[in-house]
Amino acid sequence: MKSEGSSGGCSASAISVSGLGKRYQLGTSPQQGYQRLSESLLQWVRNPVKALSGSRSEAEDFWALQDVSFEVKQGDSVGIVGRNGAGKSTLLKILSRITEPTTGRLVLRGRVASLLEVGTGFHPELTGRENIYLNGALLGMQRSEIRSKFDEIVAFAEVDKFLDTPVKRYSSGMYVRLAFAIAAHVQPDVLIVDEVLAVGDAVFQQKCLGRMSELSKRQHTTVLFVSHQMEALLRLCQRGILLHQGRVVAEGTMEAVSREYHRAFASGRTSADCRTMQRAAFLRGQAVIDEVELEANGAGVPFAQRLIFRVYISRRGEASQIHLCWAIFSAGGHEVASSRVALPDQSRGGRFSVPHLRLAPGRYSVNFGIKSERGDEDLVEHALMFDVMANETSAEVWADSIRASTIPETELLEVLPA
């Protein structure tokens, strides 16, 4: 690992990574010849036969990162995405000089500030005031520099009432506010931020994103940002890197990497055969739902794009003036939108669209039902599941301002004949 001074030019490379790899050992290595008494006793209790034989489990190599290479220009904002266990946090720890790589070469230019875990660099027994000086010193600030930035840090963190309180009494949100305020006012050449910002509330997250954007655009600070909130990444980052099983599998614009992430890892159910699904006893069953389908590609539905459903039904008796009903639920089980559309008599279903539904990016499920003038004919719960994908439009609107209508417009596009 190598660190160099700031080059001063905006087009110079701030981070250069070549063939980076990090290996960990799982299990017990046969080469470990010394064990404490407590470890030997615990091993005997767990497996006395194995302990008496003296055999030990073989160590297994686990590569958290393999052959990772990329380059980040000074002043760029780069989002790093991937599923849990993809190697994102390991990469940031190497870039933050917390751990050494097993293989490869890393060059960092300038002062690096990182925010990886709640409370990192804080002493729980010290007050907020004392920890500002301690954490600032760990990030390379001189005492005079910390003193000149002190009021700005406190104002940003909004912890002025608790400055002389030991931080062990702080909430996780207060920890993060203070830690980010210090890191963001170091005036670093490289700012590295992990998912830790998710601990803060929506207002604070907006404030942090604004500060990171200001650092990138006005002070040419290089920002590396790991988050599962794709709207935040699209709003802040121009470029993206997708990691999977410790390797870089996609790199490019943030929007292109976002699409690739959804395409590769989408696990929704956009079509279903409902004939074998269980039904409630109170349903009349004179008209039932056979199949349902959401017209979408493998990656899901982009934000603000209309939803188009196909529903096939069977009629088993007299059920006139029927309505096809639907309801969309969030991942937390809350109904966010519902409506109905009338189907002509004798039809076998319909293809209909919901053109003006602006669902926040995330996972949703859909219930379908049939109502007639005599009552509830059929109901299929959670028949479909789909993802709404973040894009540049959703990043501009921001998730907290997106609300679905309770009864949105539903347009019947096509009647499926009998």
The pLDDT tens digits of the residues spanning 268-316 come to 788 899 998 888 888 888 899 999 999 887 667 888 888 999 999 998 8
Comparing 56-65, 73-82, 360-369, which segment has the lowest mean pLDDT? 56-65
The residues near 322 (Cβ < 8 Å, ≥ 6 apart) are 287, 342, 343, 370, 371, 372, 377
pLDDT at 348 > cutoff 80: yes
Residue 180 CB coordination number (10 Å): 25
Closest CA to 117 of 157, 86, 89: 89
The residues near 34 (Cβ < 8 Å, ≥ 6 apart) are none
109-149 pLDDT per residue, tens: 888 888 777 666 788 899 999 999 998 888 778 899 899 99
Residue 37 buriedness (CB in 10 A; 0-12 / 13-18 / 19+): exposed
Q: How confident is the model at residue 31 (pLDDT cuts 50, 70, 90)?
A: very low
- How far does Cα 156 stand from its chain's mean position? 25
Closest CA to 60 of 90, 23, 21: 23
The span from the CA of 309 to the CA of 353, in Å, is: 6
Domains belonging to the chain, first-starting first, are 2-111+188-265 (3.40.50.300), 271-415 (2.70.50.60)
Amino acid at 354: V
Mean pLDDT of the chain: 82
pLDDT at 360 > cutoff 60: yes
Q: What angle do CA 143, 147, 153 make, to 5 degrees?
A: 120
Comparing 23-37, 223-237, 293-307, 395-409, which segment has the lowest mean pLDDT? 395-409
Token digits for 148? 């000149």
- pLDDT for 399 equals 45
The percentage of residues in the chain with a pLDDT greater than 90, rounded to a whole number, is 30
Q: What is the mean pLDDT of residues 44-67?
A: 68
Q: What is the mean pLDDT of residues 311-324?
A: 85
Q: Which long-range contacts (CB under 8 A, 24 or more apart) does 40-49 make?
A: none
The percentage of residues in the chain with a pLDDT greater than 70, rounded to a whole number, is 81
